[in-house]
Amino acid sequence: MERFKDVLKANNLKSTHQRLAILDCIDTYGHIDIDAIYDTVFKKYPSMSKATLYRNINDLISFHILEEVKLPNQKQQYEIRKIPHIHLLCKNCAKVEDFFVETHSLMETITLNSGFTISNSFIVMNGTCKECKV
């Protein structure tokens, strides 16, 4: 919780209880959709409406504290912004794992060979996770 207070402060955002609860919830789950965030935060703050939740999430995205996670055939999820990483999506249990790997040289190869300028990327690898493989 404390580190999120500092993050909000560094962005000149008021650290409201609701914002902290939202960040804490997303941090706990790693990747989570809006309904699940609402269910969790609502238990603590029953007065919070879904509109308020959406507004807070959008504020946190615009300040690059949160990031949208768009996975194929899945509800949109959110995560705490981290250093660039790729996502491993299990086709069996739908678990999403972060995998931190250097993607700079891949981006460079694409740019050099296609002439395409990449503004942002979201890489997903589909497959079977360690737990589902046994």
Binding site for Zn ion (CB under 5 A): 79, 90, 92-93, 95, 98, 129, 132
CB of 31 to Zn ion, least distance (A): 6
28 vs 117: CA distance, rounded Å: 35
CB of 93 to Zn ion, least distance (A): 3
Work out the burial of residue 2: count CB atoms within 10 Å of its CB; fewer than 13 is exposed, 13-18 middle, 19 or more buried.
Answer: exposed
CB of 2 to Zn ion, least distance (A): 22
Closer to Zn ion at the Cβ: 53 or 66? 66
29 vs 22: CA distance, rounded Å: 11
Closer to Zn ion at the Cβ: 19 or 31? 31
Q: DSSP states of 110-123 as a string?
A: HHHHH-PPPS----
Closer to Zn ion at the Cβ: 9 or 94? 94
